[in-house]
Amino acid sequence: MDPIKTWLQRNLKGDPILWAIVILFSFISIAVVYSATGTLAYKKMSGNTEYFLFKHTSLIVVGLAFMWLAHRIDYRYYSRLSLYALLASVPLLLFTFFMGGTTLNDASRWLTIPVINQTFQPSDLAKLALISHVASMLSRRQQNVQDFKTTLLPVMLWVGLICGIIIMSNASTALLLFGTCLLLMFIGRVPLKQMTVMVAIGAIVGGIGLASGQRLKTVQSRIENFTDKTKPVPFQLEHSYIAIATGGITGKGPGQSTERNILPHPYSDFIYAVIIEEYGFVGGAFVLFLYLAFLYRGLKTVMNSYGAFGGLLSAGLSFSLVLQAMVNMGVAVGLGPITGLPLPLLSMGGTSLIFTGISIGIILSVSRGEREVRPMTGEPADTPRIPKKTAYA
């Protein structure tokens, strides 16, 4: 056991509990996706149910590899890389929308990578880059955080540009990203007055982007279906409710779901309903607990951070992943309109698993940096801490 423990301590840096949570999520994802893809395999792979098992497992392994690589990089380098990533994501988003990327569900959100024939959502790159860059901008402007021209204006321009482009083809992702940026601004001590201006401008830009994009009618329809109780329950939600109701306390058992054969995208958008059907209320509550534990560890990294950038970066990425999970689970149980957002760390996906892995790797890099060395001084982490107020000065 000692050689294994030594190897783990040497190679898996950062928060060990966060590592354990992510690995546990990976095993749960493999089991649930394998169960939920039975009908898809029957239709597309002539009953070869192992095809999606091996494909999803390989993507999880690749995602974990990217997570490991990201956590080995000093998190301060991401401040510089975020700008380059943003500059690359803008033309990719525009090309996908205007030049006709791969269209699924009446929305051009994907680009197909040649040779490997794997779809890629530029919004995944843009989301990661924007959160990192907003954290970088706010951390560098802590002395002038109340100045509109030097602080709010550059943040507003980047947030408005990226969210405005994304909302034309993916309203739920744009709104979630905008909300995450507002949380970052709040944590970064931006005055509420300036945040109110940000919300007002965001509403105008978002409205224009939504009206000129592909998803306006879909968004209107989904909001009407959720708010108008006289309308029949949408097909997806009806069978999600059936899956949850028949799951009971302990569930039907692994692989025993029946609604997976009826639900649209049971391996992605409504995977939480399949989890509750097979593992019951206990399984659903355990998954919820894991996300809350993930958020707690991410915010613990924020509290232990000695610099503004590390704390804001960890907070932004942690909130982004957990808020998306809460929205997905809320939709499955009828607490919100249908969005089409996958459940991070659990849903079957392609390159989204890689970007999720990179995001978690960055959080681990922040926790690793604060554990090993004090970023600005080079002092060992076990030296007396500076007051929290000074850390953000």
The secondary structure of the chain, three-state, reads CHHHHHHHHHHCCCCHHHHHHHHHHHHHHHHHHHHHCHHHHHHHCCCCCHHHHHHHHHHHHHHHHHHHHHHHCCCCHHHHHHHHHHHHHHHHHHHHHHCCCEEECCEEEEEEECCCCEEECHHHHHHHHHHHHHHHHHHHCHHHCCCHHHHHHHHHHHHHHHHHHHCCCCHHHHHHHHHHHHHHHHHCCCCHHHHHHHHHHHHHHHHHHHHHCCCHHHHHHHHHHHHCCCCCCCHHHHHHHHHHHHHCCCCCCCCCCCHHHCCCCCCCCCHHHHHHHHHHHHHHHHHHHHHHHHHHHHHHHHHCCCCHHHHHHHHHHHHHHHHHHHHHHHHHCCCCCCCCCCCCCCCCCCHHHHHHHHHHHHHHHHHHHHHHECCCCCCECCCCCCCHHHHCC
Nearest to 287 by CA among 332, 242, 352: 332
Examine the domain organization and report whether 152 and 166 are in the same domain.
yes
User: Does residue 3 sit within a domain?
Assistant: no
Evaluate whether residue 359 is within a structural domain: yes
Together in a domain, 280 and 308: yes
One-letter amino acid of 26: S
User: Has residue 378 been placed in a domain?
Assistant: no
CA angle (352 as vertex; 346, 354 as ends), nearest 5: 95
pLDDT of residue 283: 95
As for how many domains the chain has, the answer is: 2
For residues 89 and 113, membership in a common domain is answered with: yes
Boundary of a domain, candidates 191, 209, 226: 226
Instruction: Evaluate whether 351 touches 118 at the Cβ level (below 8 Å).
Output: yes
In terms of domains, do 326 and 284 share one? yes
Same domain, 26 and 109: no
Whether residue 53 lies inside any domain: the answer is: yes
- d(C-alpha 264, C-alpha 244), whole Å: 15
Give the tokens for residue 285.
């509550």
Residues 217 and 86 in one domain: yes
Kindly give the parts of the chain with pLDDT less than 70. Answer: 1, 5, 7-9, 11, 47, 100-118, 369-393
Region for residue 113 given its phi and psi (left: phi exceeds 0; alpha: psi -120 to 50; beta: otherwise): beta
- pLDDT score, position 344: 93
338 lies in the same domain as 362? yes
4 is a domain residue: no
Residues 86 and 46 in one domain: no
What residues contact residue 4 under an 8 Å CB cut-off, 6+ apart?
Answer: none
Question: Are 196 and 236 contained in the same domain?
Answer: no
For residue 389, tell me if it sits in a domain. Answer: no
Q: Tokens 């007055």 belong to which residue?
A: 193
Q: Which pLDDT score, from 0 to 100, does residue 43 have? A: 76
Match 């009953």 to its residue by tokens. 47
Whether residues 240 and 185 share a domain: the answer is no
Give the pairing type, strands 118-120 and 102-104. Answer: unpaired
At 44 the pLDDT is: 77
Same domain for 98 and 214, yes or no, is yes
Choose the final residue of a domain: 196, 226, 256. 226
Evaluate whether 323 touches 176 at the Cβ level (below 8 Å): yes
Does residue 382 belong to any structural domain of this protein?
A: no
Q: For residue 176, tell me if it sits in a domain.
A: yes
Same domain, 205 and 253: no
Phi and psi, residue 110, nearest 5°: -115, 145
* Enclosing domain of residue 138: 76-226
